[in-house]
C-alpha cells in the first residue's frame, strides 16, 4: 500500500511525498513513484502516528472493567473512532469480580490477531488503584480502595497473567517503597495518583521508583507559595513522565501552559490521556455507570450524583485539537504527547509511537478540519468515516 500526502508527520519531521507500507510496517518514504502504482491520495490531509491512550476506563458504552469478553472486544473497536491505535484498558477499582475482569483482559491481549487486527491493540493493563488515598478519592467510592499490599498486588499480577504493565498508587501509603520496588522488579511501571503526599513524600516516591504522575494537576496537592506539594514535585523532576488531560476542564489551558514550560524538556515528558469512562463518546445526558447515576454536561465533563468529576466525555483526538487549534502548539510537540512519549514510557518505542521505517504501521488520517477520516493498525484500516 502506498499513501501520498503533503503532510506526513514522521519521527524525523513533516514530510511531503509517498509512504509505503508492507506486512504491517512502514518500509520506505520517497518523493516520486518509481513506476505506475496504485496510490491512496490524501493530499491536503494530515497523516499522523496513531494515538496511544494509556489511561482509559472505557468508551462509547463499553467498560474496561467488564467481565464480558465481547464487551472488551467492542471497546477495542470503539477506541479507533478516536484515532487510538493502542491503549491500556484501565482497571483498578476494587470490586467483587476484579479477578475475572483481569483474566478476561489477559485473554483479549493474548488472543489479538496482529496480522488482521479488528481494532486498537491492547498494549497491556493499567490499574489505577486500588492502593489510593481515600482523602483524594475523586470519583472512586471508599469501598473500591485498599491499603497498599504486596500480596494483593501479586494476586492481581497472577490473575492478569502478568499483563499489568502500569499501576497508579498513592506513594504516602507505601512510605518504605516496598510495593513500588516489588512492582518495579515485576516489570510494572508505577505512577503517583489520588494522593495527599507532600512535596517530600512525592519526591521520595520518585526516588523509590515512580515513573509517572497520574492525571497531573488532578487528585493531588496543589502548588502553594509556601508548599509546592505533589504537583510541584511532579513538575520539578525532569525524569518523571506526567499524564495530562487536555479537555481544558480538568486542567485550565493556562495551567497546562505553565506545566509545559516548567518541565525542562517541555512536551517531551508529558503524556496526553483521555481518562475516559464507559459513557465517554456518548451524547450528553444521564446514564448509569458502576451502579451510579452520572451526567454528561454540555462542556463534556462527567459528574456523579455528588457533583464530583469522574472523567471526561472527550477523547485524545479532542485533546489534540485543543492543543493544536487553541493553544497553537506545534503538531510535532503534540504528537510526542499523544504517541511517542506513551510508547517510550511503556518501553515499546522501538516499534510503536511514530511513523518511521520498520515501525508498526499504526497511523491516522485527519482532514483539514482535524476530523478523523481513517485509523490504521499495522497497515490495516480498522476505522473509516462513513
- Per-residue pLDDT reduced to its tens digit, 158-199: 999 999 999 999 999 999 999 999 999 999 999 999 999 999
Backbone phi, psi, residue 93, to 5°: -70, 125
CATH of 50-350, one of 3.20.20.140, 3.40.630.10, 3.40.190.10, 3.30.43.10: 3.20.20.140
Give CA–CA dist 90/83, Å, rounded.
18
pLDDT of 333? 98
- Partnered with residue 127 across adjacent β-strands are 91, 167
Q: What is the pLDDT of residue 183?
A: 99
Q: Are 310 and 277 in contact (CB under 8 A)?
A: yes
pLDDT (0 to 100) of residue 309: 82
Q: Average pLDDT, whole number, for the chain?
A: 95
At 381, which helix (H) or strand (E)?
Answer: strand 380-384
Residue (of 33, 25, 109) closest to 73 by Cα position? 109
Residue 325 has φ and ψ, to the nearest 5°, of: -95, -25
Confidence class for position 152, pLDDT limits 50, 70, 90:
very high
**CB atoms near residue 219 (< 10 Å):** 26
- Annotated catalytic residue within 53, 60, 174, 275: 275
Domain ranges, ordered by start, for the chain: 50-350
Taking the model in full, what pTM does it have? 0.96
For 223-248, the pLDDT digits (tens) are: 999 999 999 999 999 999 999 999 99
- DSSP at 28: E
pLDDT for residue 38: 86
**Binding-site residues for Zn(2+), please?**
128, 194, 215
275 part of the active site: yes
Candidates 3, 23, 20; CA nearest to 115 is 23
Question: Do 29 and 12 meet the contact criterion of CB atoms below 8 Å apart?
Answer: no
Query: Which parts are annotated binding residues?
Result: 128, 139, 194, 215, 218-219, 226, 250, 309-311
The C-alpha atoms of residue 134 and residue 346 are separated, in whole angstroms, by 28
pLDDT at 3 over 90: yes
Q: What is the pLDDT of residue 270?
A: 98
Helix (H, G, I), strand (E, B) or coil at 168: strand
> pLDDT per residue over 206-215, tens digit each?
999 999 999 9
CA distance linking residue 344 with residue 271, whole number of Å: 10
Binding residues for substrate: 139, 218-219, 226, 250, 309-311
Amino acid at each position: 500500500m502506498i499513501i501520498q500526502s503533503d503532510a506526513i508527520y514522521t519521527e524525523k519531521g513533516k514530510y511531503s511525498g509517498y509512504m509505503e507500507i508492507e506486512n504491517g510496517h512502514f518500509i520506505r518514504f520517497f518523493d516520486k513513484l518509481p513506476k505506475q502504482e496504485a496510490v491512496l491520495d490524501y493530499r491536503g490531509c494530515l497523516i499522523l502516528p496513531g494515538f496511544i491512550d494509556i489511561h482509559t476506563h472505557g468508551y462509547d458504552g463499553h467498560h474496561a472493567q467488564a467481565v464480558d469478553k465481547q464487551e472488551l472486544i467492542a471497546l477495542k473497536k470503539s477506541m479507533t473512532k478516536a484515532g487510538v491505535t493502542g491503549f491500556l484498558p484501565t482497571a483498578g477499582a476494587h470490586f467483587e469480580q476484579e479477578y475475572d475482569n483481569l483474566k478476561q483482559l489477559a485473554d483479549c491481549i493474548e488472543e489479538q490477531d496482529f496480522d488482521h487486527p479488528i481494532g486498537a491493540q491492547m498494549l497491556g493493563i493499567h490499574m489505577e488503584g486500588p492502593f489510593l488515598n481515600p482523602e483524594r478519592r475523586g470519583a472512586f467510592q471508599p469501598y473500591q480502595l485498599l491499603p497498599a499490599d504486596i500480596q494483593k498486588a501479586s494476586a492481581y499480577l497472577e490473575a492478569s497473567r502478568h499483563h499489568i504493565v502500569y499501576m497508579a498508587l498513592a506513594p504516602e501509603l507505601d512510605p518504605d517503597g516496598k510495593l513500588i520496588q516489588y512492582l518495579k522488579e515485576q516489570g510494572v511501571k508505577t505512577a503517583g495518583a489520588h494522593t495527599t503526599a507532600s512535596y517530600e513524600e512525592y519526591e521520595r516516591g520518585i526516588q523509590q521508583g515512580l515513573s509517572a504522575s497520574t492525571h497531573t494537576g488532578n487528585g493531588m496537592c496543589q502548588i502553594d507559595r509556601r508548599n509546592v506539594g505533589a504537583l510541584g514535585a511532579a513538575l520539578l523532576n525532569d525524569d518523571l513522565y506526567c499524564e495530562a488531560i487536555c479537555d481544558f476542564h480538568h486542567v485550565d489551558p493556562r495551567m497546562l501552559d505553565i506545566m509545559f514550560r516548567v518541565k525542562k524538556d517541555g512536551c517531551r515528558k508529558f503524556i496526553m490521556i483521555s481518562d475516559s469512562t464507559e459513557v465517554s463518546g456518548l451524547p450528553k445526558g444521564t446514564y448509569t455507570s458502576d451502579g451510579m447515576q452520572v451526567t454528561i454536561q454540555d462542556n463534556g465533563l462527567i459528574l456523579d450524583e455528588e457533583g464530583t468529576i469522574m472523567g471526561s466525555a472527550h477523547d485524545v483526538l479532542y485533546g489534540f485539537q485543543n492543543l493544536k487549534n487553541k493553544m497553537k502548539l506545534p503538531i510535532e510537540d503534540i504528537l510526542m504527547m499523544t504517541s511517542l512519549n506513551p510508547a517510550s514510557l511503556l518501553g515499546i518505542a522501538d516499534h510503536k509511537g511514530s511513523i518511521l521505517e520498520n515501525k508498526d504501521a499504526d497511523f491516522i488520517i485527519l482532514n483539514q478540519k482535524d476530523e478523523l477520516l481513517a485509523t490504521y493498525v499495522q497497515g490495516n484500516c480498522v476505522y473509516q468515516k462513513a
